[in-house]
């Protein structure tokens, strides 16, 4: 396997692979890029920050672009489509790595979709990480679920200064309230309809599998910011989400609303 990015996630994946007897080429910022000159066909997992993607893509040889596997959090649909990469493999990672060099704490099923989905899911399973290749419709539901988890537990985690496990246990009602708002955004913006009770159960269950992880509001354009922009565009009331963001100092980043409270 080839992993681009030697940060928390990329380093942990490569280390776990090697520990289980499977070679893994780790491409670092300043080394290892020659492996991408090999013939096409082997998955190339991009384990880099969202905002670093364009810089990394500029260094990917044209013949390897179809091998790319995007595992970034947040909504990447528009980004990939604009760059002609919407046919590439995507994955969502349901595990935690507290800091660089720490081992992976599994958190549930890791779904993948696209040309290399089966190969990457198989690699994950050989590393004792739950994984499955799914169709695009199923992946879209996971995509909404994961961005909801990031947005909700990031915002509430900052508000209360708690771990995700504490938030899930102490503030389930608020998790459900924000989840109801954000799933409505997903329904109109992504075409994904997820039942509220099932969504909340899964958000809480994931948090309880990685209870000591501390989430925060970050990668704004891809997570809370994307949801807020979509809510304003489609006229979805997300007043609780906005209220919490204002209370943690993110009010200046919110999408302006029209005087009637709807989209501008």
Q: What is the pLDDT of residues 197-223, one digit of tens each?
A: 999 999 999 999 999 999 999 999 999
Q: What is the pLDDT of residue 38?
A: 96
Q: What is the CA radius of gyration of the chain?
A: 18
Tokens at 67, concatenated: 């091998």
| pLDDT value at 139 more than 90 | yes
Q: Is the pLDDT of residue 258 over 70?
A: no
Q: At 241, is the pLDDT very low, low, confident or very high (cuts 50, 70, 90)?
A: very high
pLDDT band at 261 (very low <50, low <70, confident <90, very high): low
% pLDDT > 90, the chain: 95
Tokens of 203: 């958000």
pLDDT tens-place string over residues 4-25: 999 999 999 999 999 999 999 9
The band of 256, judged by pLDDT with boundaries at 50, 70 and 90, is confident
- Strand partners of residue 25: 2
Burial (CB count <10 Å: 0-12, 13-18, 19+), residue 179:
buried
Residues 178-193 have pLDDT tens digits of 999 999 999 999 999 9
Residue 195 is predicted with a pLDDT of 96
SS3 220: helix
Return the closest-CA partner of residue 138 out of 164, 114, 120.
114
The full DSSP string for 5-64 is --SHHHHHHHHHHHHTT---EEEBTTB-GGGGGSPTTS-EEE-S-GGGHHHHHTTS-GGG
Contact in structure between 91 and 112 (CB atoms under 8 Å): yes
Lowest-confidence pick of 14-28, 100-114, 184-198, 247-261: 247-261
62: pLDDT strictly greater than 70 = yes
* Average pLDDT in the chain: 96
pLDDT digits (tens, 9 = 90+) for 88-99: 999 999 999 989
CB of 210 closer than 8 Å to CB of 203 = no
Q: What digits encode the pLDDT tens for the residues 42-55?
A: 999 999 999 999 99
**Dihedrals phi, psi of 23, to nearest 5 degrees:** -60, 145
Q: Which of 222, 72, 92 is nearest to 145 (CA)?
A: 92
* Nearest Cα residue to 57 out of 94, 76, 13, 125: 76
Percentage of residues of the chain with pLDDT beyond 70: 97
- Average pLDDT (156-175) is 98
> Do residues 93 and 9 lie in contact, with contact meaning Cβ atoms separated by under 8 Å?
yes
pLDDT surpasses 50 at 175: yes
Backbone angles phi, psi at 19, to 5 degrees: -60, -30
- The per-residue pLDDT for 264 is 47
Query: What are the structural domains of the chain?
Result: 2-134 (3.40.50.720), 137-253 (1.10.1040.10)
Three-class DSSP category at 263: strand
- Hey, CA dihedral for 97, 98, 102, 105, is it positive or negative? negative
119-128: pLDDT as tens digits:
999 999 999 9
SS3 of the chain: helix, strand, coil, percent, to 5: 50, 10, 35
The structure's pTM equals 0.94
């Amino acid at each position: 396997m080839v992993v681009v990015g030697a940060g928390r996630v990329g380093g942990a994946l490569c280390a776990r692979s090697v520990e289980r007897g499977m070679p893994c080429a780790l491409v670092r910022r300043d080394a290892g890029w020659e492996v991408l000159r090999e013939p096409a066909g082997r998955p190339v997992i991009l384990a880099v920050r969202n905002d670093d993607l364009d810089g990394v893509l500029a260094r990917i040889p044209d013949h390897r672009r179809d091998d790319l596997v995007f595992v970034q959090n947040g909504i990447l649909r528009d980004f990939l489509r604009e760059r002609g990469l919407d046919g590439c493999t995507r994955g969502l990672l349901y595990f935690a790595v507290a800091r660089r060099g720490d081992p992976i704490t599994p958190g549930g099923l890791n779904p993948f979709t696209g040309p290399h989905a089966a190969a990457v899911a198989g690699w994950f399973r050989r590393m004792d990480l739950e994984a499955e290749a799914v169709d695009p419709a199923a992946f879209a539901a996971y995509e909404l679920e994961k961005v909801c988890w990031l947005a909700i537990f990031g915002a509430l985690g900052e508000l209360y200064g708690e771990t995700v496990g504490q938030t899930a246990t102490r503030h389930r009602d608020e998790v459900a309230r924000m989840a109801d708002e954000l799933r409505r955004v997903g329904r109109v913006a992504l075409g994904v309809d997820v039942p509220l009770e099932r969504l909340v159960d899964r958000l809480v269950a994931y948090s309880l599998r990685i209870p000591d992880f501390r989430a925060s509001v970050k990668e704004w354009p891809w997570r809370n910011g994307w949801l807020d922009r979509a809510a304003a565009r489609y006229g979805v009331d997300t007043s609780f989400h906005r209220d919490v963001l204002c209370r943690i100092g993110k009010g200046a980043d919110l999408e302006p609303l029209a005087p009637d409270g709807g989209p501008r």
